[in-house]
Amino acid sequence: MTQEELLLTSEIQKFRADHQETIKDWEQQLANGKCGPDLHFCYFALKTFPNLTARLDAAEYRFDFAINAHILHAKLQGQFLEDGHVGALAREYANDELLKIYGALDEKRPMGRAAILRTLQ
């Protein structure tokens, strides 16, 4: 998987670097199963996409991917809000867009564990 397929864009990398305590808090929330609705959605929606989940699990990257998705989800919501959609509708549109991204990544041909781990280094 490439950096982009891991949702690790330069914008997300910058957010992660600038908000390390927030990222640690989200990791803790995921580990404890006590996270907010958007982070919960980003993590548990992966269950619908078995190929993507298997590749993330093989790379031990599911929490990080969900956090990257959570950051992207917030940016998507912000864009929909800027376009004039109300909060709940902006969230639903962001959910739909994120599911489309997950679906596209799920359809990609799986790679072996060694190939996945190489892309993470």
> Residue ranges of the domains in the chain?
10-120
Q: Which amino acid is at 61?
A: Y
Q: What is the DSSP letter of 109?
A: P
Terminal alpha carbon distance of the chain: 11
pLDDT for res 2? 78
pLDDT for res 119? 52
Contact in structure between 39 and 28 (CB atoms under 8 Å): no
pLDDT for res 121? 46
pLDDT for res 110? 57
Angle at 38 between CA 37 and CA 39, to 5 degrees: 95
Neighbours of 113 (CB within 10 A): 13
The Cα-based distances of 75 to 21, 63, 121 in angstroms read 19, 19, 26
Structure pTM? 0.85
Q: What is the pLDDT of residues 49-94, one digit of tens each?
A: 999 999 999 889 999 999 999 999 999 999 999 889 888 999 999 9
